[in-house]
Chain A
Amino acid sequence: MLIQFILLLIIIVIVFWLVVKFRSGHINGWQFTVWLGIWLVASAAIINPSWTNSLANVVGVGRGADLVFYVAIVTLFYGIFKLLLRIENLEKQLTQFVREQTINEHKEE
């Protein structure tokens, strides 16, 4: 099907980008492995949709597509939550840095 071809093409581009980021040192080996694993599982599900159907039946969901949708929603919300925590932590560090810089500048005057 055309949609399978398009989705696989997108994943190939993403994996290529992932390799570039890994080789340039932007992500570490652990991050590379986890993301590569996620995209390989996604590729397997695209190539063989009945595989997700079987899994869906095991966990009591009607269709494989529904299972993928549920897992994606939970994963995305978790990801957003983690990102918010990380941003908040960075904000606090930034404020602390700016405060120390401000007070030190005053001491030097």
Chain B
Amino acid sequence: MTTLILIPAYKEGKQIFKVISDIKTKVKISFEVLVIDDGSGDNTGFEAKRAGAKVLRHSINRGQGASLKTGVSFAIDHPNYDKVVFFDADGQMSAEEIPLLCQALDDGYDVALGSRFLGKVIDMPPIKRLTLKLALIFTRLTSGLRLTDTHNGFQAWKVEALKKINLTQDRMAYASQIINEVSRCQLKFKEVPVTIRYTEYSKAKGQSIGNSIKILWDLFIK
């Protein structure tokens, strides 16, 4: 059985080759990389293929949540995958920590949730830290789970667990919804310390504070 490393990517042509190469160099378990090119319109798909990844391409941009769900559908359709790792395309995450999350699944957990606050955060903007802490309180209220981190896209899932959850949020609100689904489906989860490194590139690509309001709108109104 193989682990599928799933990378949703939107206009990541400058970074994606390096991110995939890094995974290939540092990860020693059996894996394949799948990039969902979310209607980028640049060379994201080309660069990902050049780095040796499988690429599925959304003809138009549908959001990170929609891209992940496309990748999840792909994984469920292919019985050779038993685990899926969610990984970002902007270089914030550390490829060498992928096996740590997979190990948690081998230890019997359904889901391994990366936690930057149990692990290490490098160069996080203060406003981002504040927003995440507020989001954490919100997540505790909506899911009832006492997590140390939320909206951390670095996760590993057993495919069997992915079959149980229902993701309907196309955009960033999926990150809250996925935690709610862990709670609703009573999945066995473990938080794993991970390193998140904020770079100028990732900060420019990342979520603005205004998006927090959009996420709340999506969760409550949609």
A residues engaging B (CB < 8 A)? 84, 88, 91-92, 94-95, 98-99, 101-103, 105-106
Contacts and interface: CB of A to CB of B under 8 A. Distances in A.
A98 B66 CA distance: 10
Contacts of B74: 103, 106
Contact of A98 (B59, B168, B222): B59
Interface residues of B, number: 18
A98 B77 contact: no
A99 B222 contact: no
B213 interface: no
Which residue, of A88, A92, A98, A106, has the highest number of chain B Cβ atoms within 10 A?
Answer: A98
Interface in B47-85: 56-60, 62-63, 66, 69-70, 73-74, 77
Contacts of A94: 60, 62
B78 to A, nearest CB: 10
A95 B36 CA distance: 13
Given A98-B59, A99-B62, A102-B58, 9 more contacts: A88-B222, A92-B170, A94-B60, A98-B58, A98-B60, A98-B62, A99-B73, A102-B56, A103-B74
Question: Secondary structure of the B side of the interface?
Answer: mixed
B127 interface: no
B204 interface: no
Contacts of A102: 36, 56-59, 70
A63 B134 CA distance: 47
A103 B59 CA distance: 11
Nearest to B222: A88
Nearest to B36: A102
B1 interface: no
